[in-house]
Structure 1
Amino acid sequence: MKIIRLKTVLEITSLSRSTIYDYMSRDLFPKQVKLGENSVGWVLSEVEDWLNDRISERDYKLDNSQNLN
């Protein structure tokens, strides 16, 4: 298991810091893991799974829209 910091989460997702925290508050993004008094990180595999889910949703919508034509 690998823990990544916010900078890496932002790079991987191309989302802003405020969007990440907004999504977390609405249970739309993996929760952070407290690493210390003033330190948090995210589980890399959870962030990757979240991204893969976005890709799957996109592909599902594309397939369904093509089937309607």
Structure 2
Amino acid sequence: MRLIRRAEVRELAGFGSNSSLYRAMESEQHPFPKPVSIGKRAVAWVESEVKRWIDERIEYFRAA
């Protein structure tokens, strides 16, 4: 399991800003994975969860 930090998450998932990333985590329909704490003031995301979310979004929009 690999943990990735916010900058890499934004690049990988195509979020233009931190606020768009955090809004996606609050989405009702396709919520973005929540980060895990890796320290007092540090979070990271599980890379496989982020990639699975991307794959699900691709499938959702192709099916539409």
Q: TM-score with structure 1 length normalisation?
A: 0.81
Runs of 4+ residues deviating >2 angstroms: none
Identity of aligned residues (%): 38
Uncovered stretches (5+) of structure 2, i.e. residues with no partner: none
Match of 1:22 in 2: 23
Q: TM-score with structure 2 length normalisation?
A: 0.87
Uncovered stretches (5+) of structure 1, i.e. residues with no partner: 62-69
Question: Shift of residue 14 of structure 1?
Answer: 1.3
Question: Shift of residue 26 of structure 1?
Answer: 3.4
CA RMSD of aligned residues (A): 1.1
- Partner residue of 2:36 out of 29, 33, 49: 33
